[in-house]
Amino acid sequence: MHAPRIQRAIISVSDKEGLADMAAALVAGGVAIYSTGGTRRHLQEHGVEAHEISEYTGFPEVMSGRLKTLHPKVFGGILYRRDRADDVAELEWHGIVGFELVVVNLYPFAATVARAGVTHDEAVEQIDIGGPSLIRAAAKNHAHVTVAVHPRQYASILAEVTRHGGTSLELRRRLMAEAFAYTADYDRVIADYFAQEPSDAQEASTELFPDDLRLAMRRGDSLRYGENPHQRAALYRDPAASGGSLVTAKQLAGKELSYNNLLDLDSALALARSLPDAAAVVIKHNNPCGAASAETLAEATSNALEGDPLSAFGSILGMNRPVDLATAERLAAPGLFIEAIVAPGFAPEALELLTTRPKWHKSVRLMQVDSLDVPPGHRNYRFIEGGLLVQDADVEPDLIDQWRVVTHTAPSDAQYNDLRFAWAVVRHVKSNAIVLAAGRAVCGVGAGQMSRVDSVDLAVAKAGDRARGSVMASDAFFPFADSIDKAQSAGVAAIVQPGGSRNDDEVIAACNRHGLAMVFTGRRHFKH
């Protein structure tokens, strides 16, 4: 069943994407448009005529635009039931015209409060009042009125209006559900923001997490499958996402991303942004198997790939600098296969090379992030059966000035540089985590083992002869001295770890016996 022909539309939007084309098509089909302030000016600038709502209501916009559409002549025209004679009679008695289409989206509250330094008053002014009321009124009366809250809905509305003059009940019902979800998400963002905002009159609450947590995500891409082919999967996006992330990244080339690609790219980006100077990281099965910092990105990339050349085949790469031609030439070397690369940009000549020369050029996914900034208030969410675990993300910088040498031997300056580098990497390795590094490049990784000594064995085996003279980082304390003995036998020269074991004295004594330098950081970096 199609509604009566759409004769009038109310349009008042913050996001004006695609609006002029949509409105022009409506006007061409004989629809009269009523609008307000900035939306009306935008339409007129694009040659689309629109009636001023205040002229229709006989009441001007007041309070600097705070009061514009909240008027019986507006809401009566939306809410009246076309199949009720009493509603129609009241409408005519009061000189109200009907509106069959309402196109409204809301002030950008989420984008406003995501800005650094936003004030309380600025946030308050981005709370939309009239917009949600218009949307809810149109959605409530969806039996007779069509509501649109997002530019992606315009095409389906125009297609039906063009064919039938109105929209189908099926479409109106779908748009109604999307409209109520939209206003609910909007209110959730406002509630969450003010629940966490410090009061001017008192200190901020010590409770960092709200009593009720509602996650509002919008489905983005449907993925081919999940971790395995028999598992279905999709990517959902946080509408308020800001900073550098995979959900805001632009894919420049390659096949569609898989579930596992996204997990690995996310890990690659997180590690790359945490490393100093030009840095490259190599991720395999969500663990770094190589990472390096250097004066140039090309040098860092070469050193990172040499961390574990066998595992680097079919890996995911992350960079903290735009990929230049020299780096692309290293990646295009024969014998190397890369699944995906994430970086804050690709030089035109590098992009051309990576999409033409290597044998894998048609499949490699190239992802560009506009920022390496960590999203503000970043938290980790992990689902368990029947619930959700929430924690602050482990992204805070380590306080190097609080590190403490606990052995007779102190690290050299060069060793300190490597220790800082290895410590930056180890927080991104699955526990129990051990990283060996030399020359600010990873040479061995032990990840996800049930005992720390097994992780040491694995890292040493991966490093081989490169372990001699390297430094070792451990994400948590050593419970016994056996790991120290194995590290010394492999040629490790200095160690960094959090400390805090009941056997710290035994571990320190083992380092002193072997002449090793050891530093305590006082902070653990478990990653389960």
Residues annotated as part of the active site: 140, 285
Where do we find the tokens 């085996």? 461
C-beta separation of 234 from 219 below 8 A: yes
Strand order in the sheet with 287-294: 250-253, 365-368, 338-343, 315-319, 278-284, 287-294
- How many other C-beta atoms lie within 10 A of the C-beta of residue 86? 9
C-beta separation of 477 from 463 below 8 A: no
Burial bucket for residue 156 (CB in 10 Å: 0-12, 13-18, 19+): middle
Strand order in the sheet with 494-497: 404-405, 517-520, 494-497, 471-474, 434-437, 442-446
C-beta separation of 287 from 448 below 8 A: yes
**In 275-428, where do the E strands start and end?**
278-284, 287-294, 315-319, 338-343, 365-368, 379-384, 387-392, 404-405
Structure tokens that stand for 130 in this block: 């009239």
- Helix-then-strand count for the chain, H and E: 19, 21
Tell me the C-alpha distance between 266 and 249, whole Å: 11
Distances (CA, A) of 273 to 301, 352, 374, 397: 14, 25, 8, 12
